[in-house]
Amino acid sequence: MSRKAWDAYHPHYTALKLKKCPGFHQFFEDGGVDVADVEIELTGDVSGKKLLDICCAGDATQAFSWENLGAEVVACDISPVAIELAKRNAEKIGSRIEFKVADAQKLAPIADNQFDIVYATYTCWLEDIYQTARAWHRVLKPGGRLLLLTHNPVVSCLQEADGALTVERNYFDNPPEYYNFTGTPIADEYGGWNGNVPIVEFFHSLADVINAIAEAGLCIKKMVETGPQDAEFPLLSQLPKYMAWLAQKEMHGVQIGEKT
């Protein structure tokens, strides 16, 4: 269901991204970088590192950015349409990124112990975050690091209207949400998209995120909370909309931080 919805939306999504960023191809051809500062700070120097970007979409903005920061990038997405669009964009930019169709929950086409960095975004599209975390762990080299950017689940239960915050969803009883997909915020900016395709989003609590990372064998090194300063939502602006996690796969038989 998710793949069908994204396949239908991606030509519009990529077109809107290119419309929003005139000079998109030139920007990346000239070495441009468009990932949040906090992500760059958490990841540190990526030059010469093998990085897997999961859920790259057709514009592959972050994948091109990591490449321009010096990483050797492989990027994947569940949608074959997204991957086709990403390859076309890469050709125009002169990028050497390798693109693959893969479900983030298994990463089946990706071999074990390959990457220094796994970059993952937005768990709301993934049904089984525990299985997903095991896939992140599997493809990382020993000592490799996960950078995960996702929504703060507590704050995502709130809604701001008329100068007040209300609890819109029950944090403890939050089943999958089935709805008709009208695109992402970028589609809203341009008046929406009426593909009229069913899609589903999944809610993962803070405990689920932490336990999935820990149970997979990844050691959390740092977590940073951020929120866009959005004049339209002055109350929500005071809360952390996003969380960025840095976690590391243990070296064989050695605990991270242990003296050898």
Ligand X SMILES: C[S@@+](CC[C@H](N)C(=O)[O-])C[C@H]1O[C@@H](n2cnc3c(N)ncnc32)[C@H](O)[C@@H]1O
Residues that bind ligand X (CB under 6 A): 2, 6, 55-57, 62, 77-79, 82, 103-105, 121-122, 125-126, 184
Q: Cβ of residue 10: shortest distance to ligand X, in angstroms?
A: 7
Cβ of residue 77: shortest distance to ligand X, in angstroms?
5
DSSP assignment of 210-256: HHHHHHTTEEEEEEEEE----TT-TTGGGS--EEEEEEEEPBTTB-T
Kindly tell me which of 13 and 233 has the beta carbon lying closer to ligand X: 13
What is the smallest separation between the CB atom of 166 and ligand X, expressed in angstroms?
25
**Residue whose CB is less far from ligand X, 122 or 130:** 122
Which CB, 4 or 169, lies closer to ligand X?
4
CB of 83 to ligand X, least distance (A): 9
H or E segment and range at residue 72: strand 72-77
CA distances in angstroms from 115 to 48, 97, 174, listed in the order given: 11, 14, 34
Q: Quick count: other Cβ atoms within 10 Å of Cβ 100?
A: 15
Cβ contact 109:88 at 8 Å: no
